Chain A
Amino acid sequence: MATIEELYALYHQPLLRMLYRRTGDQDRAEDIAHETFARALATPPDNPRPWLFAVALNLVRDDGRRAVRQGRRLQLLKAESVPHAPAADDEYERINKSRMVRAALDQLRDIDREILLLKAEGFDYDEIAAATGLAKGAIGTTLARARRRLVEGFRTQERDQHAAS
């Protein structure tokens, strides 16, 4: 069984990325990731990858927002007033597109969004089924629907933005 250090090295970054895509809040994603690994430390999982992502998604769904924010204890305390350079045009475009994708993701059903994000992290159907509790046979259909809705939602965002500008 992998040690917690090995699990952290393997899965922290993918977990954090998935959580950020899921929540759109980096601080919250970091909090939930920390809480997830704290639980893994207390109860080492047999099948760690689906377990870690399932716990993280449960934290997001259930009491993540309230409990994590209220109980947050920073491990890496934010530095004070480090100036950031203004975003260049292409960086602005990327941020804007990221915002629209986030908005499109938010419009998906929870299960669609979660399956999509797990697939983006390289999960196969078995792992997705283990992490979400969905039947393996339903995953293909759900994924197809989620992808289509995401793309359509993004296109709608683009049209709205063009119309507004």
Chain B
Amino acid sequence: MPHLDEAQLTALLDDELTAPETEEVEAHLASCAECRQLLAETREFFQEAGALIDVVQLPALAPSRAIAPVPPDTPAVIPDRRMTERRQRGRLTAWSSLGWAASLVLAVGLGWFASDLRYGTSLRAPAADVKALNPDQAVLTAPSGEFIAPVPGESALRTPAVVAAATEKAAAPLRDAAEAQRPTSPAAAAPAPAVGALTNQAAPLDQLGERRESSSEDRGRSAAAGNEPRLDRTNSGVSRRQAAEPAGAVPLTEVDTRRDRASVTFVTLEEAVRSLGGTIRLVDGMVPARVETRESGGTGGNTIRVVYLDPPGRELWLDQERPPASGGPLTRELEGRPALLVGDTLAVPGPGGKWTLSWMDQAGLRLGLTGFLPADSLHGLVRRIH
């Protein structure tokens, strides 16, 4: 047998030879000092190179970047869909421009909201002042305690037909999926009995399609069953909006991704503050459209959702809850959702261009901001949350 070459010896060290090849090589090595010498050199490089490569390890996750293991039903990878699409379509510049344009539109819209004093300025007070609000002066609270939503149609930017068309387009796939999952039994599909006037929106919120059904068909079913939600407020924006929309129009409420949805109740800011243990976070310069509490199934607490409207009339949700302290001083995990450290912001894309940013603030509140805006635009809003 001729002398072994470096490739054969490397394959031997890498355990890539078949059994007969190995026997043949080892038999030759037993009788050839020159090849044994070459094997020793090859082994030296083999071992040293392996050790050197092992030195280069990913830097240890700094506390600011560490997140808990992602639960199974959370997207394990957050695909950068925009980047992929850009590369596929070769429209890098166009998408960047769109992003800037969206930011510009947002800025104009925020200015519009900031200048809209219909609901007074008391709600823009810092969190510490919210507790001092007089319920009678809380402009989002009607004398009955019911929430009054803003009146649609007063803004030129918010044309129901345009919003409905855009939403319809974005929601079509979701609606199809929702209809496929929707119970076929009328009894099962009927909304839960309303608990007073303020809980009538406890109908399914997790799919736009479901919500759309509930806003038209379920209303009809409820009326037929004598269970018509009480929306008889003469000065209610909700009533006016529903009256102004044609049957089947898509409501402005969008997709709810919360897995643990339970009952949803409209509350005043004071009630929300109490629920959160003495504080609440608001977006500086924006006027809340309403405040809701939602039961957090596994945690036993409540999630407060402050709902804002962006210029096209889509909802922006600022969710906040106080996690139980069992997760330790820094890492708190809620019902399988990723635990977050103070300072981290987790961005998760949703259907239809929706993004959700989640973070933990210094006071231990877990916050989430969801909207149909690019993640960087939402992050700009996060800086204004106090």
Q: Tell whether A pairs with B.
A: yes
Interface residues of A (CB under 8 A from B): 4-5, 8-9, 12, 16-17, 20-21, 26, 29, 31, 34-35, 37-39, 41-42, 63, 67-68, 70-80, 82, 84, 94, 97-98, 101-102, 104-105, 116-117, 119-120, 124-125, 137, 140-141, 143-148, 150-151, 154
Does B48 lie within 8 Å of A141, measured CB to CB? no
Q: Is the interface of A mostly helix, strand, loop or mixed?
A: helix
Does A71 lie within 8 Å of B83, measured CB to CB? yes
Does B77 lie within 8 Å of A16, measured CB to CB? no
A59 to B117 alpha-carbon distance, docked (Å): 52
Interface residues of B (CB under 8 A from A): 5-11, 14, 16, 42, 44-46, 48-50, 52-59, 62-65, 67, 72, 75-84, 86-87, 92, 341-348, 357, 374-376, 379
**Given A73-B375, A73-B376, A79-B65, A148:B83 Cβ within 8 A:** no
Does B45 lie within 8 Å of A148, measured CB to CB? yes
A151 to B46 alpha-carbon distance, docked (Å): 9
Contact of A147 among B46, B55, B76, B86 (CB under 8 A): B46
Q: How far is the CB of A150 from chain B (nearest CB, A)?
A: 5
A35 to B78 alpha-carbon distance, docked (Å): 9
Does B53 lie within 8 Å of A98, measured CB to CB? no
Contact of B52 among A26, A38, A151 (CB under 8 A): A151
Kindly list the 5 A-B residue pairs having the minimum CB-CB distance in the complex, ordered from nearest: A79-B64, A79-B343, A38-B79, A140-B7, A8-B76
B-side contacts of A34, CB under 8 Å: 77-80
Closest A residue by C-beta to B374: A73
Q: List 13 A-B contacts (CB under 8 A).
A: A4-B77, A5-B76, A34-B78, A38-B77, A67-B87, A77-B379, A101-B53, A117-B53, A125-B14, A140-B6, A140-B8, A147-B10, A151-B44
Does B79 lie within 8 Å of A37, measured CB to CB? yes
A-side contacts of B79, CB under 8 Å: 34, 37-38, 41-42
Contact of B344 among A9, A79, A145 (CB under 8 A): A79
Q: How far is the CB of B266 from chain A (nearest CB, A)?
A: 32
B-side contacts of A26, CB under 8 Å: 58-59
Q: How far is the CB of B6 from chain A (nearest CB, A)?
A: 4
Q: How far is the CB of B75 from chain A (nearest CB, A)?
A: 8
Does B375 lie within 8 Å of A82, measured CB to CB? no
A-side contacts of B379, CB under 8 Å: 77
A-side contacts of B45, CB under 8 Å: 144, 147-148, 151
A33 to B153 alpha-carbon distance, docked (Å): 46
A-side contacts of B87, CB under 8 Å: 63, 67, 71
A-side contacts of B348, CB under 8 Å: 75
A-side contacts of B83, CB under 8 Å: 35, 38, 67-68, 71-73
Q: How far is the CB of A27 from chain B (nearest CB, A)?
A: 10
A117 to B256 alpha-carbon distance, docked (Å): 44
**Given A34-B77, A34-B78, A116:B53 Cβ within 8 A:** yes
A29 to B57 alpha-carbon distance, docked (Å): 12
A9 to B55 alpha-carbon distance, docked (Å): 23
**Given A124-B16, A141-B7, A37:B77 Cβ within 8 A:** yes
Contact of A82 among B10, B56, B58, B62 (CB under 8 A): B62
- Inter-chain pairs besides A39-B84, A79-B65, A140-B8, 20 sampled, C-beta below 8 Å: A4-B76, A20-B58, A35-B83, A37-B79, A38-B80, A71-B82, A72-B83, A75-B346, A77-B347, A98-B56, A101-B53, A101-B56, A104-B52, A120-B54, A140-B14, A144-B6, A147-B10, A147-B48, A151-B45, A151-B52
B-side contacts of A35, CB under 8 Å: 80, 83-84
Contact of A67 among B16, B53, B92 (CB under 8 A): B92
Does B52 lie within 8 Å of A71, measured CB to CB? no
A67 to B45 alpha-carbon distance, docked (Å): 37
Does B77 lie within 8 Å of A8, measured CB to CB? yes
Does B77 lie within 8 Å of A12, measured CB to CB? yes
A42 to B348 alpha-carbon distance, docked (Å): 17
**Given A8-B77, A67-B87, A68-B83, A120:B50 Cβ within 8 A:** yes
Does B14 lie within 8 Å of A9, measured CB to CB? no
B-side contacts of A94, CB under 8 Å: 55
Closest A residue by C-beta to B83: A71
Does A150 lie within 8 Å of B11, measured CB to CB? no
Contact of A76 among B80, B92, B346 (CB under 8 A): B346
Does A154 lie within 8 Å of B52, measured CB to CB? yes
Does B56 lie within 8 Å of A21, measured CB to CB? yes
B-side contacts of A21, CB under 8 Å: 53, 56
Does B63 lie within 8 Å of A73, measured CB to CB? no
Does A143 lie within 8 Å of B55, measured CB to CB? no
A164 to B143 alpha-carbon distance, docked (Å): 80
B-side contacts of A105, CB under 8 Å: 53, 56
A-side contacts of B62, CB under 8 Å: 82, 84
Contact of A73 among B8, B58, B82, B345 (CB under 8 A): B82
Q: How far is the CB of A36 from chain B (nearest CB, A)?
A: 9
